[in-house]
Structure 1
Amino acid sequence: MSLPFEEVRLRLPHIELAAHLYGPADGQPVIALHGWLDNAASFARLAPRLPGLRIVALDFAGHGHSDHRPPGASYAIWDYVHDVLQVAEQFGWQRFSLLGHSMGAIVSVLLAGALPERVERLALIDGLIPYTGEADTAPQKLAEALKAQMALAGKRKPVYAEFERAVQARMRGTAAVSRDAAELLAQRGLMPVPGGYTWRTDSRLTLPSPLRLTQAHAMAFVHSLQCPVSLLLAEQGILVAQPHLAELLSGLPIDLTHLPGGHHLHLDDEAGAQLVADCFNPFLRSS
């Protein structure tokens, strides 16, 4: 039986990234971007339900099978934006749509706000802007980040004696997922080591950000969007729990849809994936 995707490696000028390709080569171009500590398997249920699209589901740098950034480098959110732009260049796409979940949605908004001429449509799942920080907290945040960075060398990744234990740990992660979703993410996210399995992800991904955009900075990107935007809010997700969400979204030209499910509603089960597909199929395929 043939797989619904093709596994590829993309050699960019500065890094090599892994990706899953879905759909016909002449389909409408879409780059799919997963959330923090997830991988391309995040779209394993959704992408096959979006026919007619050429979907490049990336492993972000430091995630899944993609390369880690070199020693001394960091994982600033805007560096992911640059990566995505380089992926579009590799495929020769001057205009393309972005399908983003969580952190992937944030990266999508930053890119579309900075270079609106490149992005056709934004399909966002439970994510919009990054966590923000105001000027008065900047010294404290930088201090926390520096201390965490200095302590990182003494930390070790967890090793799970059995694959099943890793799946259970992923189910209980910061954003809890279903067992099926955890298995899909773990199959791509784990690697064998002496004593069992550990995560492929770069340990630096868990470091706190040394600098955050202010609320005004973040919203400037949202206000710079020129393409149609569809934002799906999970009823048990992380966006609905944020204070002042209604005020933040008020007056924005964003099509909002509330759907049942958690933060990973597009991956947790088949029913959730179909609900998301039903929203995004007419949106992404409209001319």
Structure 2
Amino acid sequence: MIIKDRAILALDFPGHGLSSWIPRGSQYYSWDLPRHILALKDYFKWDKVSLLGHSMGSIAAMRFASTFPDDVDFYVGVDSLIHDDYDLDFVIDKYPVVIRKCLNAQSRLEEEPPSYTMDEIKEKWYKGTRKSVGLESVQYLANRGTKTSKQDPNKHYFSRDSRLKYTLFNPEDKKFVAALIRRLKCPTLYIKAIDSPYATDAFSVEMRQIIEKSNPDFESQFIPGTHHVHLNDPDKVSPLILDFYKKYNITH
């Protein structure tokens, strides 16, 4: 996708891709993500930011755009707006397991993770996303999500912080989420992959409808594809974004 004279900063949140990890003894928390966006905005001395995100990145962008509505030009979210609704008993039952596994992971931060051939990496990524990422699309994720093993230069390992797998999910009260998203006022494009299981629960649909009523510049587009439709079929996604840019004269 090319927008003349518009620079794009592709951001890896802490623990992901090429970004630094949080300190030893810490645990990742999803509400830290909008804080990182604010830190970058302040660092670069930008008056406003324009946000485009997928899944976790989209949820982080939504939280920032709703918390700092005067600091965002526009927001594009792919396949997620908020966290899906979950059974609270299921979440609480998982807490002791997640906390213990995160504690165990703290002792292995300096160790090189298991390494694999690139074909094995592709297969693991493919199956790990429930076949959402096409095998041919894994290479784009692997560019920032893997490193060459120091023990075997023919193999690679997943470079993300293992503690990311044990991030505590904090369900949020419906009234809180509704109050938050009503503050979203910037032009917003939401692209939903029809074949993705995310954001299809009644809670997510209800929250989207609240945004539709409260924000006249909110629009939804539903397209066939999996959760990673933007990677597998970018030609389905990019025209929607470009049309959105043209509609709001977003050229620089």
The within-5 A match list for 1:1-287 is 48-132=1-85, 140-152=93-105, 157-160=113-116, 162-174=117-129, 176-193=132-149, 194-195=151-152, 196-209=155-168, 211-239=170-198, 241-252=200-211, 253=215, 254-283=218-247, 285-286=249-250
Aligned 8 A contact 2:14 2:20 in 1: yes
Cα 1:283–1:216 change in 2 (3 A) is farther
3-state SS in 2 of match to 1:205: helix
> How far has the Cα of 1:192 moved from its partner?
1.3
Once residues 251 and 154 of structure 1 are traced to their aligned partners in structure 2, the CA distance between those partners, rounded to angstroms, is 44
Q: What TM-score results when the alignment is normalised by the length of structure 2?
A: 0.83
User: Deviation string for 1:60-115 (max 9, x for gaps)?
Assistant: 11011111111112221111111111111122112121111111110011111111
CA RMSD for the aligned pairs? Answer: 2.7
Q: Percent identity?
A: 26
Specify whether residues 280 and 261 from structure 1 end up closer, same or farther in structure 2 by C-alpha distance, changes over 3 A only: farther
Structure 1 runs, 4 residues or longer, greater than 4 Å off: 132-139, 153-156
State the secondary structure of the residue aligned to 2:51: strand
1:13 aligned residue:
none
Whether the 8 Å CA contact 1:267–1:273 is kept in 2: the answer is no
Aligned partners of 2:51 and 2:76 also within 8 Å: yes
Distance 1:229 1:147, change over 3 A: same
> Contact 1:181–1:269 (CA<8 Å) still a contact in 2?
no
Long gaps (5+) in structure 2:
none
Deviation at 1:240, TM superposition (A): 5.2
Select the structure that is richer in helix. Answer: 2
TM-score under structure 1 length normalisation? 0.73
Whole-angstrom distance in 2 between the partners of 1:108 and 1:233: 16
User: Offset of 1:247 from its aligned partner?
Assistant: 2.9
Larger strand proportion of the pair: 1
Aligned residue type for 1:129: I
Q: Secondary structure at the match of 2:105?
A: helix
